[in-house]
A and B are shown apart, each in its own frame.
Chain A
């Protein structure tokens, strides 16, 4: 990669009004393994593909429960995500302590968005190198938010970020209409299928490399890993030829 005079720090605009350091940080998100999130009228689901550094190492954690009503999935620098998730945990507890109220997801999302923005406007700081999907249920119902290193946040119906996530997003866009009315089980299956679409040819979803997080109305956010997701993987992908169900039904 050749040098560009305007990409040394996050306090320099390029002549086109771009901030390269921030854009580079977005690239770090694309290096992370894929995570997917979907909401229905009653539930919010996160699904993530975990990676292990080598055969004998453990898998990197991808979904972090923050409060009883929501959790986040990360793609990118896990240590940056830890900083942000700690902030989110603190703020969530503060809301419960001060107001006896679970923090609104829109509120916590904009808090970390604001925090990330300061890293893009001051010398000596770098943008966070992580993207987050924030999913759960608050007083206004189920929600899914996307957070980017630039500090941009959006509320989504469904979203996928991380390596090869375009494939997941394609699946999500094709099935977008079904999500709103989907049941808990259906939503989980959709998330797993979207996740699978982003996998490279030689990979499979297994109980070791897959994480699920589910939140719902009157239902705490819960993580599912290992044997707990075996039956979902089985029922979602049984008797399905390579390429997944979506391709078949659509074409």
Chain B
């Protein structure tokens, strides 16, 4: 599903062609008289909330959502609480339309009033096994999914993606989603909206399956969710750094509604060169000095960096030796790609100010970088000590040789900080 709430439920242009707007109101491109127009319900959400994320741990659930309600791209309301607690055992997290969320919240309110007809939750706790008589999160989820499905079957959907988190009738952790189509899904980690793309993989790294839940502590779960909220704030433009987080376990619901993201670091943003795959030539050493890839493999450490590359798709080299290793590994990765190869790589070469030539020792065996460095036109123009960012596209070093192109791989290469040499590379398949 598309992560933009506006696109939910719409036919895709690339599949179905351009949307025929003739029956819409004239303001939206309609051409018909009002009396002949069909009944229509909500066609798109108006004020929206973005992702909700949640993760199970051994004895409970952690769920979080930020406090923003957007009006299109405008950050319209910044104190909107999108996590709603229910009867000490459940929390519902709402993504999507905020007014529909308010409607559902009223349903929850009246459901709660009804549940308390037979005695309040407080009184039930006093009785033996009282909390088992409370509605569990699974019961609440079933109810909400029926509401959502009924409304979508009426062609009048509630434009939301919900996560229901809490304890079930047997006080075991429960987590499931329901959305505007009435679709339901359950997993040990869940995320709606943008979070489904950005946070879910990170959550799954921690809890890959139901079995792994046993090994997760409350602290670990909270830390993971907070980290994900940070990533979501970095990359989701409809998000904000203030958020709500709730932990539900045997001791009840602990809901905090004005948390702030801590230790933000936007350094990664410097490396972003637009989104999507990019096609850039890749080079190896100059013909004179070049070794064949087979020869280069000799330089690989015994444990094999290629394996390391698969395991750690993002890596930073801090010394020249490692620089070389990674470079070789990258070259090897290129070799592994099936032909025809189309390598999409971006190289960033940065040299910070304040570095004199004499202070540099480029002792790479291949000398590739060194030779490029010396022959760089920037070098002669700006002189030592004032090197701006240099794009490899522009500054193809003589010593490098284009070996081919590989689609879907990105290598980012840096030289920066005094006497420290960083290479960042990522491989994206």
Contact = CB atoms under 8 A, between A and B. Distances in A.
B48 interface: no
A100 B140 CA distance: 9
Interface in A81-130: 97-101, 104, 106-107
Given A101-B139, A104-B118, A139 B132 contact: yes
Interface in B121-156: 127, 129, 132-133, 135-136, 138-139, 142-143, 146
A139 B169 contact: yes
Nearest to A140: B133
Given A97-B146, A139-B169, A140-B133, A106 B139 contact: no
A244 interface: no
A99 B143 contact: yes
Nearest to A97: B146
A106 B118 contact: yes
Contacts of B129: 140-141
A139 B129 CA distance: 9
A97 B133 CA distance: 18
A180 to B, nearest CB: 13
A98 B146 contact: yes
Contacts of A104: 118, 133
Q: Secondary structure of the A side of the interface?
A: mixed
A139 B133 contact: yes
Given A140-B133, A141-B129, A98 B118 contact: no
Contact of A98 (B136, B138, B142, B169): B142
B118 A100 contact: no
A40 B245 CA distance: 44
A139 B115 CA distance: 14
A101 B169 CA distance: 9
Interface string A129-141: 0000000000111
B318 to A, nearest CB: 55
B317 to A, nearest CB: 54
A100 B133 contact: no
Contacts of B169: 101, 139
A137 to B, nearest CB: 12
Contacts of A139: 132-133, 169
Contacts of B146: 97-98
B174 to A, nearest CB: 11
A141 B135 CA distance: 15
A134 to B, nearest CB: 16
B118 A99 contact: no
B139 A99 contact: yes
Contacts of B132: 139-140
B127 to A, nearest CB: 8
A99 to B, nearest CB: 4
Nearest to B118: A106
Interface in B100-132: 118, 127, 129, 132
Contacts of B127: 140
A153 to B, nearest CB: 13
Given A104-B118, A106-B118, A98 B133 contact: no
Nearest to B128: A141
Nearest to A96: B142
Contacts of A98: 142-143, 146
Contacts of B118: 104, 106-107
The residue among B127, B132, B142 with the most chain A CB atoms within 10 A of its own CB is: B142
Contacts of A99: 135, 139, 142-143
A97 B150 CA distance: 13
A97 B147 CA distance: 12
5 contacts: A99-B142, A104-B133, A107-B118, A139-B133, A140-B127
Interface of A: 97-101, 104, 106-107, 139-141
Given A99-B142, A101-B139, A140-B127, 18 more contacts: A98-B142, A98-B146, A99-B139, A99-B143, A100-B138, A100-B139, A100-B142, A101-B135, A101-B136, A101-B142, A101-B169, A106-B118, A139-B133, A139-B169, A140-B129, A140-B132, A140-B133, A141-B129
